[in-house]
């Protein structure tokens, strides 16, 4: 959609070994359809990371080469990768900085684990995969079992089945509507 409200937005999607393949690939392709500039952010640049189901995704940039100022949107897919990111201060800093600057942060499935460790969920509405619901609540978030939950710049979803609603919520965020 040339000239649309999402046109030329800079969308960074995190990648790492054991990410949930569809939770990375679906937003990547969906946002490209909308004209966004999409790129994958990994621990290292130009490195292929196999997802849980074996599909590789090659990082465009390394975490050391990106800042919140380079992004309009940060996507945190699920799978087991969020458990790696949450233990890496570089990824935590990117999330904290994106949140402080009001950048859109979308997290799905186990992705909210990174938000929990970045300490940005207390008092905020969110959802996640049911297995980490207690983690989200224990971090002070207000959990809702819904396909998508939006709290200002934070957009969360539960599972692969929620991807259409997740992407629509990001594309339709009031920040883009003039």
Q: Which candidate in 2, 19, 53, 110 is catalytic?
A: 110
As given in the structure block, the two tokens for residue 83 are: 């458990």
Please give the DSSP secondary-structure letter assigned to residue 19.
Answer: B
Distances (CA, A) of 24 to 3, 53, 71, 82: 25, 12, 17, 12
**Sign of the torsion formed by the C-alpha atoms of 86, 88, 89 and 92:** negative
2: annotated active-site residue: no
Give me 4's structure tokens.
Answer: 């649309």
Residue 123 contacts residue 142 (beta carbons within 8 Å): yes
Return phi, psi of residue 11, to 5°: -115, 115
With tokens 């978030």, the residue in question is 141
Beta bridge partners of 148: 157
Catalytic residue numbers read 110
């Amino acid at each position: 959609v040339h000239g649309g409200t999402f046109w030329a937005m800079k969308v960074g999607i995190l990648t790492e070994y054991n990410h949930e393949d569809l939770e990375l690939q679906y937003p990547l392709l969906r946002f490209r359809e909308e004209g966004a500039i999409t790129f994958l952010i990994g621990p290292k640049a130009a490195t292929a990371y196999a997802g849980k189901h074996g599909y590789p995704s090659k990082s465009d940039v390394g975490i050391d080469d990106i800042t919140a100022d380079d992004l309009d949107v940060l996507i945190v897919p699920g799978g087991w990768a969020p458990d790696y990111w949450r233990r890496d201060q570089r990824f935590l800093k990117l999330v904290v900085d994106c949140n402080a600057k009001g950048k859109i942060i979308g997290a799905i499935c186990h992705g909210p684990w990174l938000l929990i460790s970045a300490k940005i969920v207390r008092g905020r509405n969110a959802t996640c995969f049911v297995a980490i619901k207690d983690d989200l609540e224990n971090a002070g978030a207000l959990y809702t079992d819904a396909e998508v939950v939006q709290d200002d710049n934070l957009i969360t979803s539960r599972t692969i089945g929620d991807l259409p609603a997740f992407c629509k919520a990001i594309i339709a965020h009031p920040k883009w509507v003039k």
